[in-house]
Structure 1
Amino acid sequence: MQIAAIQMVSGPEVARNLERARHWLEQARARGAELAALPEYFCLMGHADTDKLALAETPGAGPIQQMLAEAARELGLWIIGGTLPMKAAAAEAGAAARVRNACCVFAPDGSLAARYDKIHLFRYDNGREHYDEGRVLEAGAAPTAVQTGPLRTGLSVCYDLRFPELYRAAALGGPCDLLSVPAAFTYTTGQAHWELLLRARAVENQAYVIAPAQGGRHENGRRTWGHTMIVDPWGLVLGCLEEGEGLVTAELDPARLAQVREQLPALQHRVL
């Protein structure tokens, strides 16, 4: 199965971001992809974290979800839709406004196949850079895997990559063939840990990893690490786009997956 990971350098204009996302989804299909994945925050990289509050959609309604559903149906693609801001449950009186950072997966008929809400919220402060997603995001709670055609795909988002237990939990219903990690890693943390963690998750779960990323300098002044990758279950990087818009494609080979798991049956050797 041919898969494609899309890299973007999204800005504050949602319509423009959706236009670019649709362009790259079309390019993925033209290159033979049956499944394509967009990066975290593909629809918005605003000037402030709170910008996403005004754009939050309700489940099943809104221009971002509409674009993803239409693209999936018109292109005949499985689409892992990066993330989009989804309205959280009604907050208690006096509580700060929150949204969920939701990853929606659409089937080739345009239907919603699964939704995963980012569980682990990023916070980082090295004295120069300051991030705290918890100021505007409400954490999800449920590990999620979904059947995407022949593949069982485990869903995660960005900072989730640092928590290997999430991927084990997603595989409780059966081993995942593919792990999805749409991301907007900072340049600092990405340079240090991005490839290391992606390859580790692939090796320890004996699964392919698709990691579409934000990659470049954004209008809001932020620089993201990029290095969109597809990694095989032995930890080999099958393709990488360092910076700028574009996509990475690779063939997901069931025989390769079976070979790795047969030769080194680590998943069968788990004790804890």
Structure 2
Amino acid sequence: MTAHPSSPPGTHRSPFHVAAIQTVTGTSPDDNLARADELIAEAARGGAQLALLPEYFAMMGRHESDKVAIREQDGDGPVQRFLADAARRHRMWLVGGTLPMWCGDDKRVYNTSLAFDPHGQRVARYDKIHLFGFTRGEENYDEARTILAGKTPVAFDAPCGRVAMSVCYDLRFPELYRGLGAGRDGQGVSLILMPAAFTYTTGQAHWEILLRARAIENQCYVLAAAQGGKHENGRRTWGHSMLVDPWGELMGVLPEGEGVVAGVIDPARLAEVRQNLPALRHRVL
């Protein structure tokens, strides 16, 4: 006999508090880490159990190649120690948006996102797979000049459920997230992490649309931590760090400047959306 529960599956989990940290990162790693530490503490005081830092939170250099000079070996380095220590001190899950990691090439790095548990233990590493390229007028970006693309999608388990890692330009590739959710319980991931440094031009046009689309089609929460403002190196980023719920509704947003966007991953809301519109179970391809 098949049991029919009175409440949707997945509601046994408790609400899980998360925070997206928005920065306007400069050229000094020491100054950037000090400011990140203050914002992590602010998120912790607000009750965050998981905090997400943006892409390039440790440095945005004056030149694309500057990141190569501060790259770290896997397993040790000042930025990795900073993240592990902050996670442990605040007893939170902490995801360091990205930092430059050794890739075996003297002129390039991996653009790496690292996740730490509340004990300061690293639980996941993701090397950004999709590399941004954009040219319009005086704007010209080609990440492949200084970054080596990763090859492996990554997700990890946290108290809120399965968490998908991704970075910035990955947002434009929906197959990444569907692949991460396939083959488990048919329900996909509970939370997508999106640390980013979207340009003002592309962010204004597509950032919110893409974030809401990824939330809707995967019926999950999306936590996006962005760079948001005019940087010391002259670059302007779009900002608008936000938390999006599984129905595509905005739960909080910070348009520009440094700060924290906080919210809750509600398992009952997640289950409700998936029960009312079981699109994930209706998948054919």
TM-score by length of 2: 0.92
Equivalent residue in structure 2 for 1:181, among 175, 194, 209: 194
Aligned to 2:180: 170
Preserved CA contact (<8 Å) 2:20 2:242: yes
Equivalent residue in structure 2 for 1:43, among 58, 73, 84: 58
Identity across aligned pairs (percent)?
57
SS in 2 for 1:219: coil
Aligned to 2:89: 74
Aligned to 1:31: 46
Aligned to 1:84: 99
Residue identity matched to 2:93? W
d(CA) in 2 for partners of 1:173 and 1:213? 30
Preserved CA contact (<8 Å) 2:160 2:267: no
Residues 1:97 and 2:73 aligned together: no
Residues 1:206 and 2:219 aligned together: yes
What is the root-mean-square deviation in Å for CA atoms of aligned residues?
Answer: 0.8
How far off is 1:251 after superposition? 1.1
How far off is 1:115 after superposition? 0.4
Q: Which has the larger radius of gyration?
A: 2
Query: Deviations 1:32-69 (Å, cap 9, x if unpaired)?
Result: 01000000000011000100001000111100000000
Aligned to 1:127: 137
d(CA) in 1 for partners of 2:55 and 2:195? 5
SS in 2 for 1:212: strand
How far off is 1:97 after superposition? 1.6
Residues 1:157 and 2:167 aligned together: yes
Residues 1:217 and 2:230 aligned together: yes
Equivalent residue in structure 2 for 1:117, among 113, 127, 141: 127
Aligned to 2:153: 143
How far off is 1:156 after superposition? 0.4
SS in 2 for 1:267: coil
SS in 1 for 2:275: helix
Gaps of 5+ in 2: 1-15
TM-score by length of 1: 0.97
Aligned to 1:2: 17
How far off is 1:75 after superposition? 0.5
d(CA) in 1 for partners of 2:160 and 2:204? 33
Aligned to 1:52: 67
How far off is 1:173 after superposition? 4.5
Q: Which moved more, 1:141-150 or 1:118-127?
A: 141-150
Residues 1:12 and 2:24 aligned together: no
SS in 2 for 1:250: strand
